[in-house]
Amino acid sequence: MNLETVMQELEALGKERMKKMYISNGAHEPLFGVATGAMKPIAKKIKINQPLAEELYATGNYDAMYFAGIIADPNAMTESDYDRWIDAAYFYMLSDYVVAVTLSESEIAQDVADKWIASGEELRMSAGWSCYCWLLGNRKDVEFSETKISSMLDTVKNTIHDSPERTKSAMNNFIYTVGTSYLPLHEKAVETSLAVGIVEIKRDNKKSSHLNAYENIQKQVDKGKIGFKRKYVRC
């Protein structure tokens, strides 16, 4: 399949309702409004195809960019490739659910995510923290430095309330993910969640949302799901 045929298939799967939902979350034209689950049959046909992924991502079409993440080859991408992708990720559903997810399956994930977290740019920071969430929820605990993750929890505790909105959301999710998926620091994540308290996320033209990592960690404790790891990150 080439770029033209994939774009035609995606367009045929577009739904006005999904399109409106994506736009309400920050997407803009061009986009078709394809449900992510509806992309699976095309992904099965293509499997992994980095050159096609690059072509799709470059279209600027939200659905094509999302699909690019599904068929990308994470380890074929260099740091500059990831920087190029994050530069084009114009809202959080691309930064956190396409670029961060693809990066999390690469060998350079932590190095790139660390630089993004230190960047001071909202969506880069958000993608960096989100990448760690995907990593911690999938990889074995021994693949991480406990000292480093502990220090990251301290950073969240000290800076979350003064961070940009999308970054706040990803940082809050980081506390939750450490608390549920990284056993060595479960207790510290619980303490951090209590110290941080409720995190308010302000959104344009919408009511603020309020996040509570402590409550969400406790729900997983009650279900006996502490230490949970996903088998796969990408769908």
pLDDT digits (tens, 9 = 90+) for 177-225: 999 999 999 999 999 999 999 999 998 878 999 999 999 999 999 999 9
Q: Are 232 and 140 in contact (CB under 8 A)?
A: no
- For residue 203, count other CB atoms closer than 10 A to its CB: 13
Residue 27 identity: A
Q: How confident is the model at residue 233 (pLDDT cuts 50, 70, 90)?
A: confident
Residue 213 has, within 13 A of its CA and on its CB side, a CA count of 31
**What pLDDT is recorded for position 215?**
98
Mean predicted confidence (pLDDT) in 7-32? 97
User: 11: which DSSP letter?
Assistant: H
* Per-residue pLDDT tens over the stretch 83-104: 999 999 999 999 999 999 999 9
Residue holding tokens 């774009």? 7
Model pTM?
0.96
